[in-house]
Amino acid sequence: MKVAKGIWCAGAMALAMTGVSQMAQAEVEESADVPQAERELVMQCHDAALASKDGDDFESTKLLMEQQNAGDYEQGEELLLHINLLGHGTTIYNISCNVDEQGNVTYKEYQKAGTPAGSTR
């Protein structure tokens, strides 16, 4: 009986861990108005933020694709990219990433707020 109980507990833990990792992934706000190049920068910033030491802080339910400034990026110039994640209730995570001249994206920091930051739309 102890073996069966141990197997059940291990299975329950595996399911719980799967649920946690799925919650960390943001649902992407669908929008036909955001060009693919902008989408790619936003997703790279999002992924870098989740992979950072702060990644566990995000209780994200939706990536606000319209609320970002990736359209300001020009090849050969640096950009401080701002994206926004909608959390629980009215919480918005304002995430900042650096985009270098070659288009490489690195996570910088985030702030919790009630309004989106960095939107040029």
The pLDDT assigned to 104 comes to 96
Supply the pTM of this predicted model: 0.72
Residue linked to tokens 């902008």: 38
Q: What mean pLDDT comes out for the span 47-68?
A: 88
CA atoms of 93 and 96, how far apart (whole Å)? 10
Pick from 38, 106, 98: nearest CA to 68: 38
Beta bridge partners of 66: none
pLDDT tens figures, 64-104: 988 899 999 999 999 999 999 998 888 899 999 999 999 99
Residue 84: phi and psi, rounded to 5, are -135, 135
**Bigger pLDDT: 59 or 23?**
59
